[in-house]
């Protein structure tokens, strides 16, 4: 960027009502998401309304400065980190604008949090289809950006199946609304010289030119979120969409933007389809002697048309049993199990769901699939079980020491029939590299979350991470899968799109990127032209922290630095409705006043990203000042970050 950052900040200040922060601390605070990558932004802008978003787009276009939209920054693949001006939608732009229950849609600002939207919709008998485990702080903008999905995607699909229309700011600073367009509408939209007109003209052309290759090369999976959704540009039986990863419909460029990770346009408003809530729900917990047996059972379980089939392995179960707050909720689980499948059924009446549970139970017993089957109809117990499943990742991350189960090959999806062979292949790769990991995931749709144990502070382990990525991508290709089933490409997997989709389709991805963003200012380096995933790591072989003689005893945590490093960025401290953590964030909705923000600032000072003198500076004092020392984080953070204790030490 040739632009002087101070001038640039002034330009933004002149044109927006929201906040503009280009100071070093703000850059540190926005340099991470929930992934293992870290890159300092150019600065941060916090829009108050869609006029601000349009103005941000105009300034960025005028100065050719990269921008990166951001919601809760709970992404696991590094797509929300980058050297760009970050646009924080979560602080001010979190309103529901309009609800239409008759037509079943809602219009939202991008910073609306999933759980908040569901709380708003529940009294009307509706909910959002995709349900991520990060629902307490993930935003609708981020869900659209990542094409997020959840436990019930076998019924509700992914975000692409729910996004009806988006209001956007394009890379030239112009604004455009993308929604369903009929053939007559397409004819007129194709004509003209605006960027919007060009997008219609050339996107349709790309769909025609690459049609055969797209139909041949795109993985035939519900859970394909890697790459751009070129399959949406393909005309097929009177509709648009190949029908592999979404339901075909009228031509709609909004569906190409879904999952594009902020690389094609910035969304300032979205119209989202909502779904009626099920009247009754019930669970069957199926226990297995091995993970492989559980995975082998999926096809059989799916014959009974469940609404969800979610997997947890022994690593997850052991971590949950080791934590008193979860062990209490897990009293129902047979401790002899090495894997657990949570199978959910929807229905209208209680007898109906009870009979669905019973039919599956009898069938599995007869076929000797699994060994213990627990029907759960009580709503409180069901909620506890879902809570434990939702916390699976947090539970995995709570292992102590520098070797952590990290996210980089954590999200592959393959056809259900190929899951057992794929799992065996995956396990072999990890065994070869002596990198045992934890497994969980959305078994009903072939999406496995696997987190190998890696110590990113060692060069040899970083190299190992690169080798595992190469080998897993080859395995995914062999089984016709997708490197990402919901978390996105980001820095972790962008590199592999060429290999997985082939050179021709990758060329088409690059054409799409160049069409939407010829100056490469929209979250550059994601989806196409991605950097090496072994670079720009939050830790890494060069990572070192200064030694501090602490007054308090941090032996249990492995020292003060490790106590701070326990924060992995998953952002549970940004939740707002349940529990205590984090009251200062609740009050200001400012990253700086969250447990995660404080941990990031302190880690920066301990590891040299900020001068060590900052540890005793007034600015660091400000970061910690609003912390009420309530210990909410110690109790509620899945990795038990104890910011109150860290603050006592600081003071």
Ligand X SMILES: Cc1cc2nc3c(=O)[nH]c(=O)nc-3n(C[C@H](O)[C@H](O)[C@H](O)COP(=O)(O)OP(=O)(O)OC[C@H]3O[C@@H](n4cnc5c(N)ncnc54)[C@H](O)[C@@H]3O)c2cc1C
Residue with tokens 């809602």: 106
* Using rule CB under 6 A, residue 630 touches ligand SF4: yes
Phi, psi of 567 (to 5 degrees): -75, 115
Interface map 139-168 toward ligand X (x if CB under 6 A): x-xxx-xx-xxx------------------
Residue closer to ligand X by CB (options 146, 444) is 146
CB of 631 to ligand SF4, least distance (A): 5
Residues 510/528, Cβ–Cβ less than 8 Å: yes
Residue closer to ligand SF4 by CB (options 174, 550) is 550
- Please return the burial class of 100, using the count of CB atoms within 10 Å of its CB with bins 0-12, 13-18 and 19+: exposed
Phi, psi of 106 (to 5 degrees): -135, 145
Tell me the C-alpha to C-alpha distance, in Å, between residue 133 and each of 24, 441, 553.
Answer: 32, 11, 34
Strand-pair partners of 342:
285, 310
Q: How many helices (H) and strands (E) does the chain have?
A: 27, 22
* Using rule CB under 6 A, residue 71 touches ligand X: yes
Collapse the DSSP code of 220 into the 3-class scheme (helix H, G, I; strand E, B; otherwise coil) and give the result: coil
The DSSP 8-state label assigned to residue 545 in this structure reads: -
Distance CA 622, CA 258 (A): 38
Tell me the C-alpha to C-alpha distance, in Å, between residue 547 and each of 525, 558, 559, 561, 602.
Answer: 35, 12, 9, 8, 13
Residue with tokens 């900040």: 9
Residue with tokens 């280009």: 22
Residue closer to ligand SF4 by CB (options 129, 597) is 597
Stretch that binds ligand SF4, among 11-19, 96-104, 149-157, 621-629 (CB under 6 A): 621-629
E strands, 430-499, in order:
437-442, 447-454
Tell me the C-alpha to C-alpha distance, in Å, between residue 51 and each of 163, 257, 646.
Answer: 22, 21, 40
Can you tell me which of 26, 31, 74, 388 binds ligand X, judged by CB under 6 A? 74
Q: Which does 631 bind (CB under 5 to 8 A by kind): ligand X, ligand SF4, none?
A: ligand SF4
Residue closer to ligand X by CB (options 108, 560) is 108
Residues 388/256, Cβ–Cβ less than 8 Å: no
Can you tell me which of 433, 498, 628, 640 binds ligand SF4, judged by CB under 6 A? 628
Residue closer to ligand SF4 by CB (options 276, 583) is 583
CB of 112 to ligand X, least distance (A): 10
Residue closer to ligand X by CB (options 132, 388) is 132
Q: Cβ–Cβ contacts within 10 Å for residue 19, how many?
A: 18
CB of 365 to ligand SF4, least distance (A): 46
Q: Which does 629 bind (CB under 5 to 8 A by kind): ligand SF4, ligand X, none?
A: ligand SF4
Q: Residues near 578 by Cβ (< 8 Å), separated by ≥ 6?
A: 136
Span 360-419, contacts to ligand X by CB under 6 A: 393-394
* Using rule CB under 6 A, residue 79 touches ligand X: yes
Distance CA 74, CA 124 (A): 28
CB of 587 to ligand SF4, least distance (A): 10
Q: Residues near 324 by Cβ (< 8 Å), separated by ≥ 6?
A: none
Tell me the C-alpha to C-alpha distance, in Å, between residue 49 and each of 53, 113, 114, 138.
Answer: 7, 16, 19, 19
Interface map 314-343 toward ligand SF4 (x if CB under 6 A): ------------------------------
Collapse the DSSP code of 370 into the 3-class scheme (helix H, G, I; strand E, B; otherwise coil) and give the result: coil
CB of 293 to ligand X, least distance (A): 24
Biggest distance spanned by C-alpha atoms of the chain: 73
Can you tell me which of 235, 629, 649, 650 binds ligand SF4, judged by CB under 6 A? 629
CB of 40 to ligand X, least distance (A): 16
Distance CA 134, CA 154 (A): 19
Can you tell me which of 41, 47, 78, 110 binds ligand X, judged by CB under 6 A? 110
CB of 602 to ligand SF4, least distance (A): 11
Span 597-636, contacts to ligand X by CB under 6 A: none
- Please return the burial class of 490, using the count of CB atoms within 10 Å of its CB with bins 0-12, 13-18 and 19+: buried
Q: Which does 80 bind (CB under 5 to 8 A by kind): ligand X, ligand SF4, none?
A: ligand X
* Using rule CB under 6 A, residue 595 touches ligand SF4: yes
Span 546-585, contacts to ligand SF4 by CB under 6 A: 581-584
Can you tell me which of 209, 302, 474, 644 binds ligand SF4, judged by CB under 6 A? 644
Residue closer to ligand X by CB (options 90, 537) is 90
Stretch that binds ligand X, among 134-142, 209-217, 282-290, 308-316 (CB under 6 A): 134-142
* Using rule CB under 6 A, residue 643 touches ligand SF4: yes
Q: Which does 145 bind (CB under 5 to 8 A by kind): ligand X, ligand SF4, none?
A: ligand X
Residue closer to ligand SF4 by CB (options 560, 633) is 633
E strands, 128-265, in order:
163-169, 175-178, 180-181, 235-236, 239-240, 251-252
Which residues of the chain form contacts with ligand X (CB under 6 A)? 33-34, 68-76, 79-80, 89, 110, 132-134, 138-139, 141-143, 145-146, 148-150, 261-262, 266-267, 393-394, 486-487, 523, 570
Which residues of the chain form contacts with ligand SF4 (CB under 6 A)? 581-584, 595, 598, 627-633, 643-644
């Amino acid at each position: 960027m040739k632009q002087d950052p101070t001038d640039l900040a002034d330009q933004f200040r002149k044109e927006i009502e929201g906040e503009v922060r280009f100071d070093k601390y703000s850059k540190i605070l926005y340099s991470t998401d929930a992934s293992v990558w870290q890159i300092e932004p150019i600065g941060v802008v916090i829009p108050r309304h869609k006029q601000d978003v349009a103005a941000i787009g105009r300034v960025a276009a005028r100065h050719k400065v990269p921008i990166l939209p951001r919601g809760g920054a709970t992404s696991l693949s590094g797509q929300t980190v980058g050297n760009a001006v970050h646009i924080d939608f979560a602080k001010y732009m979190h309103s529901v604008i309009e609800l239409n229950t008759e037509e079943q849609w809602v219009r939202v600002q991008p910073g609306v949090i999933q759980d908040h939207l569901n709380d708003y919709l529940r009294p009307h008998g509706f909910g959002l289809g995709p349900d991520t485990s990060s629902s307490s702080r993930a935003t609708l903008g981020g869900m659209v950006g990542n094409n997020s999905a959840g436990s019930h995607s076998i019924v509700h699909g992914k975000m692409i199946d729910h996004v009806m229309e988006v209001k956007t700011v394009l890379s030239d600073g112009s604004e455009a609304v993308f929604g369903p367009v009929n053939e007559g509408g397409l004819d007129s939209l194709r004509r003209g010289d605006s960027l919007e007109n060009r997008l219609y003209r050339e996107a349709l052309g790309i769909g025609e030119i690459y049609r055969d290759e797209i139909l041949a090369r795109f993985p035939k999976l519900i859970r394909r979120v890697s790459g751009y959704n070129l399959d949406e540009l393909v005309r097929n039986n009177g509709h648009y969409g190949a029908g592999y990863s979404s339901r075909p419909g009228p031509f709609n460029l909004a569906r190409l933007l879904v999952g594009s990770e902020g690389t094609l346009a910035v969304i300032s408003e979205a119209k989202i389809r909502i779904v009626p809530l099920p009247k009754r729900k019930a669970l069957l917990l199926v226990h297995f002697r091995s993970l492989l047996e559980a995975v082998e059972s999926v096809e059989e379980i799916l014959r009974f048309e469940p609404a969800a089939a979610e997997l947890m392995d022994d690593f997850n179960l052991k971590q949950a049993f080791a934590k008193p707050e979860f062990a209490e909720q897990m009293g129902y689980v047979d401790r002899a199990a090495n894997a657990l499948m949570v199978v959910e059924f929807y229905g209208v009446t209680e007898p109906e769901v009870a009979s669905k549970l019973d039919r599956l139970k009898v069938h599995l017993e007869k076929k000797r699939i699994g060994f213990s089957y627990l029907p759960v109809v009580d709503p409180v117990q069901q909620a506890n079980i879902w809570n434990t499943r939702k916390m699976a990742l947090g539970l995995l991350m709570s292992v102590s020491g520098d070797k952590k189960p990290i996210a980089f090959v954590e999200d592959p999806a393959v056809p259900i029939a190929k899951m057992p062979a794929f799992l065996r292949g995956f396990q072999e790769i990890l065994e070869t590299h002596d990198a045992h990991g934890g497994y969980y995931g959305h078994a009903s749709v072939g999406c496995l979350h696997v987190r190998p144990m890696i110590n990113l502070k060692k060069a040899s382990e970083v190299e190992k991470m690169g080798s595992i990525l190469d080998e897993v991508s080859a395995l995914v290709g062999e089984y016709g899968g997708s490197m990402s089933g919901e978390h996105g490409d980001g820095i972790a997997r962008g590199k592999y799109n060429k290999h997985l989709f082939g050179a021709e389709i990758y060329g088409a991805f690059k054409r799409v990127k160049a069409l939407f963003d010829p100056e490469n200012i929209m979250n550059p380096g994601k989806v196409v032209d991605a950097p090496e995933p072994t670079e720009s790591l939050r830790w890494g072989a060069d990572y070192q922290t200064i030694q501090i003689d602490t007054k308090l005893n941090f032996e249990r945590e492995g020292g003060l630095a490790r106590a701070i490093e326990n924060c992995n960025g998953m952002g549970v401290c940004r939740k707002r409705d349940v529990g205590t953590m984090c009251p200062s964030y609740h009050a200001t909705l400012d990253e700086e006043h969250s447990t995660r923000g404080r941990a990031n600032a302190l880690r920066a000072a301990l590891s040299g990203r900020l001068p060590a003198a900052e540890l005793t500076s007034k600015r660091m004092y400000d970061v910690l000042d609003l912390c009420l020392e309530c210990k909410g984080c110690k109790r509620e953070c899945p990795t038990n970050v104890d910011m109150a204790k860290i603050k006592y030490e600081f003071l």
